[in-house]
Structure formats: structure tokens, C-alpha cells
Amino acid sequence: MSQYVLKIVSRCDLSCDHCYVYEHADQSWRRQPHTMSPRTVAAAGRRIAEHATAHRLDVVRVVLHGGEPLLAGAAGLAAVANELRRRLDPVTRLDLRMQSNGVLLTEEIAEVLVTHSVAVGISLDGDRAANDRHRRYANGASSHERVLRALALLRRPEYRPSFAGLLCTVDLANEPVSVYRALLAEDPPQIDFLLPHANWDRPPPRPSGAATPYADWLLAVHRAWTADGRPVPIRLLDSLLATAAGGTTRTEAVGLAAADLAVIETDGSYEQVDSLKSAYDGAPATGLDVFRHPVDAVAAHPMIAVRQSGLDGLCATCRACPVVRRCGGGLFAHRFRAGSGFDNPSVYCPDLLYLVHGVSGGPDAPADTGAEPDVLDPAVLDDLGTGYGTETSVRQLTEVHLAKTRALLVALSPATAGHPFAGPAWDRMVELDVTAPAAVADVLGHPFVRRWAHRCVRTPALADLGRLAAVAAAAAIRAGVPGDLDVPLRDGVLSLPTLGALHWPDATGPVTVTAVAGGFRARAGGRTVTVPVGGVPLPPEPLGVDAPSGGPVRLRPEPAGSGEPPRGAAPPPGWRPARRTEDPAVLIEDLDPYRDSYQDLPVAPRLSPVAAVRWAAQLTAAVRRIDTTAGGYAPGVRGLLRAVVPLRPDRRGRHRSATAASAFGAVAITPVPDDAALAELLVHEVQHLKLAGLLDVCELVDRDDTRLLTVPWRADPRPVEGVLHGTYAHLAVADVWRRRPGPEAAARHRRYRDWTLDALDALHGLGVLTAAGRRFTAGMRATLHGWS
Ligand code: SF4
Ligand code: SF4
């Protein structure tokens, strides 16, 4: 551990209302002595020196801190600096610093700082109005003038070596460029911006309608700073730029650098970073102190160990996030939520995501939701490369999917500001993400929520932003959280993803939706309806299905008069619940308006109740068949399949199926005669889902290579990524037929196997596979060879 914060005074002469030491959850300062005693300073110096010696540290940074360290006075500061230099200078290079509010800085103290090579950072939130917003004395008086006086002192040539820079806490009420200019005017050697300490239990203030206000604020600074030619280092922005270029961060606020910092309190107790004081009373405590414990004991503390474990120490959402190496899950303290502790993304997640992209992609760059080559654990690549895939690997893909959908929503969120439906809906989503994260995840995991968001981001001019209100309403209803939300109708239909659709053709204007016990209430034009929800679990019994004992489950022709309107006719008013199978838990998705395009394959309209039960029975039987006869594919099918979209029967009677990367988790299928045929199609299509999920985070082929390949299973030449998709799917289909009896099955197995081998050879021959792609396809080849 090479960085230490030494709390040499535990009280302060200011009374800033945003202070994390005095104004947040942790109140341990009350139990601390006013000033660190010489004995404690000596013990701290000794511990740091012995640690530096044992670990052969080239440099150690010690920051004198408080409260307000200048309250120690010139003599007190000189004594502390003396003691630290005496103990540490012989064993390492001591980088001695101080963080101060500056108001007590005098020439006498400045002399001490220069004499002992102490570099001081001064807290300043902008011009007078900005600084006075929080940084005041207990009687309300401004501290601004005295801070400027201190800065003038530090700018004098004789004291300039002790001027480390300015630290500014972001306040949305302050105009960002004015703040930046006010800080720049003090000619600091460096500026740093700090997001106000907050967590999921105490979220930061967000003005209504603002989706990523903190990112917007910092990006405004970024633009001005860039236009000025970056006249001064800004630590947060420089770190984001550095990590975008593959470099390392200089702040624990972003990036994946291991935590390397311990706090030593005034009484000699070791604590974790100060920002944890914002989480809960006692959060930073370790139970260790400089008198009894070496620094190694602090490094082994479980919470510090988590913060030192980089990617592994982050929650699943962050680990799967496309920008995790640049964001790093934000500041540790900002992840706290009662119940789950620190195992969450940052409460600033949308801001961080937007900021990361904005800084690296240029001003106002929309979120780039493209691939991040190094997010995926290589073990997952190897596992999926075999063609199969364990539950663990599959779970990672679902987490990636959720992170992608979130990233799309964040990219969309600036456009929601001021939108009559999307604005309040965004606020509701942010709120529900804190209070009901499981319900939000359920809705965001729905394949056609991602497709809707994807389309909005891709073609902003045509964006159906009102749909966000339906997404938020569905999450609120699932969570049972009441509160009115206006949702626009689309062709007289209120479609709630994962729940169903309310056909209300004669309603005028939007529908006001609120959750009630067991469902929701909808109001429009002075009328109110109450709708019970919960979906309709469809029993797997063979209702309307031929299922001789142990034999195939076949669909019988649809009987006449099944209760559904003829094709093209308007559906009758009323609630149409989403239907789902229980095992596997899959929606028979015949309602969602975004289930519309699978190339040339038209989707079926709402199924009749009888037809829906048949689909459910066949689907259940097919998945059970996969469990027993092709078990290696079962985790993928069970873990990734969220929805089956019935297609219209193929005019030529072919069995058709399709997936789309933008509708991850959905498989569209024409009616097929039995569960064996359905099992084959499901295995085939879920391979496409697996590969699409992998390609979300991992470059397997050179996507800039536009050459086409001829493949045996298609008449038209295919792009290389399409060839890889086909190869991965045919590997699994070859395996399915390998396990079935009879000469016809053997012939099919050989055909698919040979196609797969030929296509793998062609991909290798073309030289379009990346290193990860070669590793992945080596696994496929090994599986093929294992069969023989
Ligand atoms: S100057 Fe610093 S320690 Fe003092 S009250 Fe303000 S924020 Fe807290
Ligand atoms: S942007 Fe959000 S999900 Fe991604 S790493 Fe940061 S906090 Fe985690």
C-alpha cells in the first residue's frame, strides 16, 4: 500500500453543508481527538516506513488531511512533516501532500510547506457564488475571499512549488464553464472534479427530466477545456482519456486500478477511504490501528481486498458493462445500497457511461454501444467455443445483454428531457432502478425492449420515445409500485412489455397507468379500467396436441372458430395477457409491436388460445427433449431463450426460424410438425444467440473485411460474420443429428459436419479471424474432431 491519508486534525473551521466528514452518515469524527498526537504521528510514520521497506516501495504518498489540517498551525505542521520525513526519507521517496480549504494559510505556514516539500491542494467550487453555495463558515459567512488570498500566496514564485492544485465538487446549480473558468483563473497546476458523494440510498439530486446531468455538466467542461487546448491537467478527464487509449487511471473515481490507499485517523485507527463516510455510520472502520497492526493487516481487510481485486471485485452488471475498464464501476462509496452493500453499479452509472463515451468520442458523442474486446473472461470464450456452454458462460451473456440494453437507454436518455411521456418515464425508471431493480431487469431483459431502444438510437428522427413510458409502466406494475404514468396508445393499443396489451380502440389521448394490487389501473377520457396481470402460464398438457406416450408432440390443424378475429380485422377491446410456459420460462410472444421484422419471415398475429396452448406444449416437450438428448445445449436454450415468436406458416411448407442480434433472447419460428423438429430449430437458433452475445463484447472476425465467402448451405456468398454464425449453428445441428438413430440421421449429421469443417477451413484460409476468433474456432474444431 503506497498511499496514506493522515488525519492530523479532526475538526474544521468551515461548515460546508456537502462535507462528507461531518454531514454524512458516518459520525465517527465525534469520537476522535481534536489533533493527532506526536506519539500517533510517530507510530504512523513507523508503520508506513516498515511497510515501504518490506515491500521495497520506490515512492510513498502521504496526504495530510482533516477536518482542516491548517488548524494544526505552522509549528504543528512542521512537527508532523519533520517526523514523517525523518522516518520515511531514508527508506523511500516521500511524496508529502496536504488537502486544505485554505482559509488559514499564512506566509508562516507557506514557509513550512516549502521547507518540508509539502504540496497543498485547495478546495474551491468555482467563483464566489458557486463557492458560497456550500463552502461557508458555521455562521453562514463566505470563505471565498480568504481562499483566494491563500491561492494568491501559493502563486507567489517562492511558494509555487507547494501549490498542488484545486479540488472542485460538482454542483449542478453552478454553470460548468463558469466554474471551469473561475478555477483556471487561479492558475492551478492541476484541477480535479469530484462528484458529490451519494449512493443508492441517498441518490444525488437530479433535476426532473435530466437523464445524465452530471455527465452533461462535466462534458460541458470537457468541451471548453478541449477548445482551450487543455491548458491545465484535469485529473478526472485526463484519466478517462488515458483509459480510453489503454493507459491507466490517476484517480480511484474511474478505471480499474487497485485501491492502494489507507486512512489513518487522528487517534491512530486505520480506516478505508473517506468517501465511505457517505454510506453508513462506521462504514470506513477496519478495527485496526497503527499501534497494534502493521499496514499489511489493513491491506488484507476484506473490503480493501475487494477494492484491490479490479474487475473481479465489481458487481455482475459492471463486469458485463461495455465500458467497465474505463469506468471501473465509479467510486466505491457510490455503489452502496442497503441490503446489497457495495455489490452494485455506481449510483452515477448513467452519467459515467455517457461521460466515458462523451470524453473518448468527442463532444456530445452518442454512446457507442459497440464491442469491447477485452471484457470477456477467456474461459467463457473457450467454453462457448466448444459449441456448448455452461450455465456460468450463458449467464455472462445475459448480463452482457442487460448491460447493452441499459447502454442503449442511457444513449437515448438525453432525448427524453422535456418529452411529455419519455421525460417522466425516464425519471420513473431511474427511481425504480433503485427501489425495484429486479422488476427493471425483468423488463429490460425482454428482447424487444432492446430492439426498440436499438432502433431509437440508430434512427433518432424516427425514435418512438413514448415507448419508454410503456417500459417504465411495465416495470412499475411488475414491482407493484403505484404512481401515475401517462403512456401513449399505439393504434389504440397499450402494449406493456412482458405483461400484455390492452386494446382500447376508442380511447382518446394517452392512458394514465398506475400499479394496483395484482395488476394496474388505466384511465383515459374519463373512463377507468382495472386489469389483473401476471401473464397466463400455459400448461404443458397436450391439449389439442397429439402426444402418444413417449412419441413426438405434434400440432393438429387449428380448428375453425377459435375465437380470434380473422386476419386483418381489428381485435376486440380488452386485455390480452402475455402467455408464457412455466418450464422453460418463455414468453409465447405474439403481442409486442417490435417483434416485426425477421427478414422475409412475417410474424403471426395473436394466437388463438388453443394454438397458444399447442405452442406451449410443443415448446415444453422440445426443451425437455434437448435436456435429455442434447444436454450440452440445454444451458444455452434454458438460459437465453426469453421469447418464442410464432411466424406465419411458410408458403412452401418449410421449417423456418430466425434470430436478430437486436432482439437478443427471442427466436422466431414457423409452426413445425413435432417437438423433435422444434428442438433442432431451437438448438440451431440459440447458437446464433450465443454467438451474437459473444460478438457484443468480443471481436472474433475482422469486421472491416468486406470480402464474401461462398458456403455450401447458401446460394449467395456471405459476409464473414454471417459465415461464422452459420458454422457455429451447424456445428450444433450436426451434433443433434449425431445423437439420433437411423441412417437418415447419420447422413444429416455428416452433411452438417462437413459444412462446418469446410466453412472453418474457409474462414481460416481467408485470414479474417482475430486472435480471439482463432481461439474460439479452435474449440469448435476440437469438438468436431472429438466426435470421430
Ligand atoms: S472545509 Fe472540508 S472538512 Fe471542512 S467542512 Fe468543508 S468540506 Fe468539510
Ligand atoms: S457504466 Fe455503470 S455498469 Fe458500467 S462499469 Fe460504470 S457503473 Fe458499472
Residues paired with 60 in a beta bridge: 94
DSSP state of 528: E
pLDDT at 30 exceeding the cut of 80: no
- Model confidence at 236: pLDDT above 80: yes
Range in 350-359, 446-455, 530-539 with the lowest mean pLDDT? 530-539
Q: Check pocket membership of 329 for ligand 2, CB cut-off 6 A.
A: yes
Pocket test for ligand 2, best of 195, 346, 348 (most atoms within 8 A of CB): 346
154 lines ligand 2 (CB under 6 A): no
Nearest atom, ligand 1, residue 18 CA: 7
Ligand 2 atom closest to Cα of 317?
Answer: 3
Report the percent of the chain where pLDDT is more than 90. Answer: 56
C-alpha cell of residue 461: 428522427
Task: Identify the band that residue 476 occupies on the pLDDT scale cut at 50, 70 and 90.
Answer: very high
Q: Are 136 and 143 in contact (CB under 8 A)?
A: yes
Task: Tell me the average pLDDT across 323-342.
Answer: 86
Q: What is the mean pLDDT of residues 165-192?
A: 95
For 93-121, how does the pLDDT look when each residue is reduced to its tens digit (9 = 90+)?
A: 999 999 999 999 999 999 999 999 999 99
Pocket of ligand 1 (CB under 6 A): 12, 14-16, 19, 21-22, 66-68, 101, 123, 135
Q: Which ligand is nearest to the CA of 313?
A: 2
Residue 514, SS3 per DSSP: strand
Among 404-418, 499-513, 698-712, the range with the most confident prediction by mean pLDDT is 499-513
372-376: average pLDDT: 47
**What local confidence, expressed as pLDDT, does residue 550 receive?**
39
The span from the CA of 455 to the CA of 594, in Å, is: 10
> In this structure, which residue's CA is closest to atom 2 in ligand 2?
349
Alpha carbon of 367 to ligand 2 centroid (Å): 13
Q: What is the pLDDT of residues 124-158, one digit of tens each?
A: 999 999 999 999 999 999 999 999 999 999 999 88
Which strands, in side-by-side order, build the sheet including 191-194?
191-194, 163-169, 118-123, 93-100, 59-65, 3-7, 261-264, 269-271, 285-289
Q: Is 323 in the pocket of ligand 2 (CB under 6 A)?
A: yes
Tell whether ligand 2 has an atom less than 6 A from the beta carbon of residue 330.
yes
Cα 336 to Cα 286: distance, rounded to the nearest angstrom: 17
Q: Per-residue confidence at 280, pLDDT binned at 50, 70, 90?
A: low
Spatial contact of 591 and 495, defined as CB atoms under 8 Å apart: yes
**pLDDT of 457 strictly over 60:** yes
Helices in 461-561 by DSSP H: which ranges? 467-479
* pLDDT tens, position by position, 525-583: 888 989 888 644 444 433 333 333 434 444 333 333 344 555 556 666 788 889 999 88
pLDDT tens digits for 625-643?
A: 999 999 999 999 999 999 9
The pLDDT, as a whole number, for residue 368 is 36
Which one has a higher pLDDT value, 700 or 247?
700
For the stretch 736-749, pLDDT in tens is 999 999 999 999 99
Residue whose cell numbers read 497492526: 293
Measured by CA distance, the residue closest to atom 1 of ligand 1 is 101
pLDDT of residue 598: 79
Q: What is the pLDDT of residue 249?
A: 83
Nearest ligand to the CA atom of 15: 1
**Cα 117 to middle of ligand 1, angstroms:** 23
Residues in the chain: 788
The conformational region for residue 114 under phi > 0 = left, psi -120 to 50 = alpha, else beta, is alpha
Q: What would the mean pLDDT of 430-435 be, rounded to a whole number?
A: 83
**What's the rounded Cα separation, in Å, for the pair 425 and 418?**
11
Q: Are 194 and 179 in contact (CB under 8 A)?
A: no
The answer to whether the CB of 8 falls within 8 A of the CB of 40 is: no
φ/ψ of 549, rounded to 5, equals -50, 120
Q: What is the DSSP letter of 37?
A: -
Give the position, in ligand 1's atom list, of the atom nearest the Cα of 21.
8
Q: What is the pLDDT of residue 72?
A: 97
The pLDDT tens digits for 573-604 are: 788 889 999 889 999 999 999 998 777 788 89
Distance in angstroms (rounded) separating the CA atoms of residues 289 and 726: 61
Identify any residues that bridge with 87 across adjacent strands, giving them in sequence order: none
Instruction: Report which of residues 715 and 57 the model is more confident about.
Output: 57
Closest CA to 557 of 675, 682, 673: 673
| Residue 313 C-beta-side C-alpha neighbours within 13 Å | 22
- Termini Cα distance of the chain: 54
317 in ligand 2 pocket by Cβ < 6 Å? yes
pLDDT at 561: 38
92 torsion bin: left (phi>0), alpha (psi -120 to 50), beta (else)? beta
| Half-sphere exposure at residue 162, Cβ-oriented, CA atoms within 13 angstroms | 27
Backbone angles phi, psi at 521, to 5 degrees: -115, 135
SS3 673: coil
Site to substitute for ligand 1 among 5, 14, 15, most atoms within 8 A of C-beta: 14
Distance 629 CA to ligand 2 centre (A): 40
Mean pLDDT computed over 314-324: 82
Which band of pLDDT confidence, cut at 50, 70 and 90, is reported for residue 661?
A: confident
Q: Which of 19-33, 97-111, 168-182, 309-323 has the lowest mean pLDDT?
A: 19-33
What residue's CA is closest to ligand 1, atom 6?
16
Helices (H), 345-466: 349-361, 378-385, 391-416, 422-435, 437-444, 447-458
Q: What is the pLDDT of residue 205?
A: 87
What integer pLDDT is reported at residue 304 of this predicted model?
76
Ligand closest to CA 256: 2
CB atoms within 10 A of CB 596: 12
How far is C-alpha 260 from the geometric centre of its chain's CA atoms? 24
- Ligand closest to 169 (CA) is 1
Dmax over CA atoms of the chain, in Å, equals 97
321 lines ligand 2 (CB under 6 A): yes
CA 364 – ligand 1 centroid, Å: 34
The closest-lying atom of ligand 2 relative to the alpha carbon of residue 406 is 3
Long-range contacts of 430-433 (CB under 8 A, 24+ apart): 430/206, 430/211, 430/350, 432/472, 432/475, 432/476, 432/479, 432/481
| Amino acid letter, 216 | D
- What pLDDT sits at residue 365? 40
Q: Are strands 93-100 and 118-123 parallel, antiparallel or unpaired?
A: parallel
Burial of 59 (0-12, 13-18, 19+ CB in 10 A): exposed
- Under the phi-then-psi rule, with left for phi > 0, alpha for psi from -120 to 50, and beta for the rest, what region is 579? beta
Question: pLDDT: is 462 or 296 the higher one?
Answer: 296
pLDDT at 375 over 70: no
- φ, ψ dihedrals at 392, nearest 5°: -65, -45
User: What is the Å distance from ligand 1's center to 413 Cα?
Assistant: 34
Burial of 339 (0-12, 13-18, 19+ CB in 10 A): exposed
Average pLDDT over residues 26-47: 89
> Per-residue pLDDT tens for 391-421?
999 998 998 888 888 878 877 777 888 899 9
- What was the pLDDT predicted at 541? 38
**327 Cβ below 6 A of ligand 2:** yes
Task: Compute, in angstroms, the gap from residue 17 CA to the centroid of ligand 1.
Answer: 8
What is the β-pairing status of strands 285-289 and 269-271? antiparallel
Whether ligand 2 lies within 6 angstroms of the CB of 240 is answered as: no
Which residue's alpha carbon is nearest to atom 6 within ligand 2?
Answer: 329
Q: Which of 10, 13, 16 to mutate to test the pocket of ligand 1 (most atoms within 8 A of CB)?
A: 16
Cis (ω within 30 of 0) for the bond into 339? no
Q: What is the mean pLDDT of the chain?
A: 87
Burial grade of 74 (CB within 10 A; 0-12, 13-18, 19 or more): middle
